[in-house]
Amino acid sequence: MLKKTQGIVINYFKYHDSSIIVKIYTRDYGLISVIVNGIRSAKSKRSIGFFQPFSILDIVLYYKSDRAIQRLSEYQFAYHTHNISVDIYKTTIALFLSEVLSKVLIGEENQQDNLYDFLVKSVIRLNIIKKDIENFHIEVLLQLCAYLGFGMETTADLLTSMEIEPLEHQKDVSNYLDCIFREDFESLNLYSGTIRSESIQLLLTYYKHHGINVGEVKSLKVLKQVFN
């Protein structure tokens, strides 16, 4: 049966000679996989650019709830996020967040409108922002916690929940994250790439503590190279 919905492209991988399998987080069905036949063929009339991470699409599916891979009937951009694909910093952030989300959103089959809306707003914001880009992905990781059921209001809350005593060398990490909590974006410029990297690791540990083991994030190395 044909179903209309909207979705955020998380990632894709090649399938056979000319097709791809795309993971899309949809408003109505949560995280789904869809097959796009022939998109990598030289004869294809559609661009694979539709399926870059963080594309936001209006789609029509041949949807069956008991099918592991859905089939696409139609697709078009719901929002144009061209600025992400042409900016190396934004592209790198999109790759990192999409890798994390591909693991975080597993188990989110029962769609949450507020989570979907948060992610759409985040993608649109990434597309248009012109400054403080280097802090964007950490801010999203922090805010995402609330939608997953383990939000906090301060870094002290985060550390206490994991029964971690803040170490002397971690004070800068705590102060940096507290700046994000307070939306004190001017002060964020005082912190180095090393502090940002340590903050990411702390947040991923926090996710794991709450039952979401993101595991190895391959794009972290690229993130460090681009922003450090």
pTM > 0.85: yes or no? yes
Torsion of CA 224, 189, 143, 154, to 10 degrees: 120
Torsion of CA 56, 61, 63, 69, to 10 degrees: -70
Q: What pLDDT does 177 receive?
A: 93
Q: What pLDDT does 170 receive?
A: 76
- Tens digit of pLDDT per residue, the chain (228 long)? 799 999 999 999 999 889 999 999 999 999 999 999 989 988 888 899 999 999 999 999 999 988 999 999 999 999 999 999 999 999 999 999 999 999 999 865 555 789 999 999 999 999 999 888 999 999 999 999 999 999 988 888 888 888 776 555 578 898 999 999 888 878 888 888 899 999 999 999 999 999 998 989 999 999 989 987
Q: What pLDDT does 199 receive?
A: 93
Q: What pLDDT does 108 receive?
A: 54
Q: What pLDDT does 166 receive?
A: 59
Q: What pLDDT does 95 receive?
A: 96
Start and end residues for every CATH 2.40.50.140 domain found in the chain: 2-81
Q: What pLDDT does 52 receive?
A: 94
DSSP designation for 188: G
Looking at the domain 2-81, which fold is it?
OB fold (Dihydrolipoamide Acetyltransferase, E2P) (2.40.50)
Judge residue 184's burial from the number of C-beta atoms within 10 Å of its C-beta, 0-12 exposed, 13-18 middle, 19 or more buried: exposed
